[in-house]
Amino acid sequence: MKLSASRIALYLDLIRWNRPAGWLLLLWPTLGALWVASGGFPGWHLLLVFTFGTILMRSAGCCINDVADRKFDRYVKRTANRPVTTGAVSVKEALILGAVLALLAFALVLTTNTVTIAWSFAALAITLAYPYAKRLVSMPQAVLGVAFSFGIPMAFTAVHASIPLLAWVLLLGNLFWVLAYDTEYAMVDRDDDLHIGMKTSAITLGRFDVPVIMLSYLIFVISWDISLMPYVQGKAFYVAVTLAFAQVAWHYTLIRSREREGCFQAFRLNHWLGFTLFAGIAASYALQ
């Protein structure tokens, strides 16, 4: 069957192609871990595997999420016009597209090693579970944090075929970053989510939302700073950490009033925080 331009446009909308912030949030910590695991530039093979694998899996996750949330999204201002929710893309189409994208990502993983391949199944399981966690778990952002951090241990297995303690420390720190930015995201939809009975960290935390977000940011930056000190030498990384703290302070100014626009802006620009730390890591290795 020949796909029309309008059909392709709908599929691109489904996977958020015009909103790259989502896959960038996954990419920067994954590449940071890949650089640390490799002691510098990891080579083009692994760089391409993890870059395209991240984009493909995030896109597949969008398909799964929109199918799972299709009956809820119509009641949320921000998501009411998503293709599956409006019926422009059928559930079957979305699931097929998600499966194809996930298989393409798996094909990339197959070029690594058996340990990484094995861990990819755990990553897929968490990706499938997250959309339904929003019905059952009061802090589903924690589940998303695990899903969005799984590239970190997989980066280490791709290089060493094992996962050192450092990888788990970085994963835990990154989980707090996901909790921070996805709570900002949830604050945008809080009124709608309360109405439809969806569980989010923004609702669970209540008036403690902003303090917990700021604390989560600090845990993320400090944990990565301290844990990487023995591995990442040079001034570039510490300049990056300083700039990361400055961005954390800026986020406070955006979310302290809890207004939709400020919270959404904070979420959309969060990938710059991840890029800053990755750039500091990569630059430090390059200058050694």
Over residues 64-78, the pLDDT tens digits come to: 988 988 887 787 878
The region, left, alpha or beta by phi > 0 then psi within -120 to 50, assigned to residue 161 is left
CATH 1.10.8.420 fits 5-287, yes or no: no
pLDDT above 50: residue 91: yes
Percentage of the chain with pLDDT > 70?
A: 99
Closest CA to 23 of 60, 48, 49: 60
- Which residue has better confidence, 29 or 131? 29
The region, left, alpha or beta by phi > 0 then psi within -120 to 50, assigned to residue 40 is left
pLDDT above 90: residue 116: yes
With residue 59 as reference, give the H or E element that holds it: helix 44-68
Lowest mean pLDDT among 34-48, 51-65, 137-151, 176-190: 137-151
Cβ-in-10-Å burial (0-12, 13-18, 19+) of 232 comes to buried
Measured CA to CA, the distance from residue 220 to residue 196 in angstroms comes to 32
**pTM of the predicted structure, to 2 decimals:** 0.93
pLDDT tens digits for range 142-192:
888 888 899 999 999 999 999 999 999 999 999 999 999 999 998 988 887
Encoded tokens for 237: 């990384």
Closest CA to 124 of 98, 142, 93: 98
Measured CA to CA, the distance from residue 20 to residue 58 in angstroms comes to 10
Encoded tokens for 142: 């924690």
pLDDT tens digits for range 232-281:
988 999 999 999 999 999 999 999 999 999 999 999 999 999 999 999 99
Q: How far is the CA of 271 from the CAs of 88, 106, 160, 170, in angstroms?
A: 30, 25, 27, 17
Measured CA to CA, the distance from residue 100 to residue 83 in angstroms comes to 18
Percentage of the chain with pLDDT > 90?
A: 69
Q: Are 196 and 75 within 8 A, CB to CB?
A: yes
pLDDT of residue 5: 82
DSSP letter assigned to residue 87: T
Measured CA to CA, the distance from residue 269 to residue 140 in angstroms comes to 21
Give 243-259 as a DSSP string. HHHHHHHHHHHHHTT--
Provide the pLDDT confidence category of residue 2 given band limits of 50, 70 and 90: low
Provide the pLDDT confidence category of residue 33 given band limits of 50, 70 and 90: very high
pLDDT of residue 1: 47
Q: How far is the CA of 163 from the CAs of 26, 121, 122, 166, 170, in angstroms?
A: 19, 16, 14, 8, 11
Measured CA to CA, the distance from residue 72 to residue 76 in angstroms comes to 7
